Amino acid sequence: MMRMTHVIFTMGLIALIAAWLNLGIVIGLLAAVWLAAIVNYIIDAAGHEVRNGRMRRTAGTHSITGATAVGAAVGLLPTLVILLAAPGVAGAYYGPLLLLEMGVLGALSGLSHLLLDAPTEGGIYYRGHRWALAHWHYDNAATNGLFALLGLVMLGAALAPSVMI
């Protein structure tokens, strides 16, 4: 899928899960925007190589372990820096819980990237082999539009309870 589709879909997914975790609208949206933009950029920037004149995905970031590690690191590291730099921001109980939540949300961000890449012709790597659920082109307008719309619906669902209050 196109990077913008990845970002919109991941943003909606993370915002929805953050709302379900009761992180609050501000933290949930900040986490969703941060993770969607940075995780998807890193996975794509570090996870492609040119071979025989063609761009292809690599197993480093387009595997379950690689994408999960990238996402978890992007969720954990900034949160840890903030908690260490400003210890009063979160209490003794909520600091470790926030680290856990951001690590999980980051890992899910990485996995959402793979979810959208699995049906494309480039596929993802699973147990050392390239695996593709279907062979759609990454720039297929219909599938990109469908997944972007799904991301917007999830974002709307995450924001709906706070709008109605």
* Residue of 27, 104, 47 lying closest to 72 (CA atoms): 104
* Residue of 154, 129, 9 lying closest to 64 (CA atoms): 129
Do the beta carbons of residue 106 and residue 35 sit within 8 Å? yes
From residue 50, give the alpha-carbon distance in Å to each of 5, 54, 57: 23, 5, 9
* Residue of 130, 131, 31 lying closest to 11 (CA atoms): 31
pLDDT in tens, the chain (165 residues): 999 999 999 999 999 999 999 998 999 999 999 999 999 999 999 998 888 888 889 999 999 999 999 999 999 999 999 999 988 877 766 889 999 999 999 999 999 999 999 999 999 999 989 999 999 999 999 999 999 999 999 999 999 976 654
CB atoms within 10 A of CB 107: 22
pTM of the predicted model over 0.75: yes
- Domain borders along the chain are 3-164
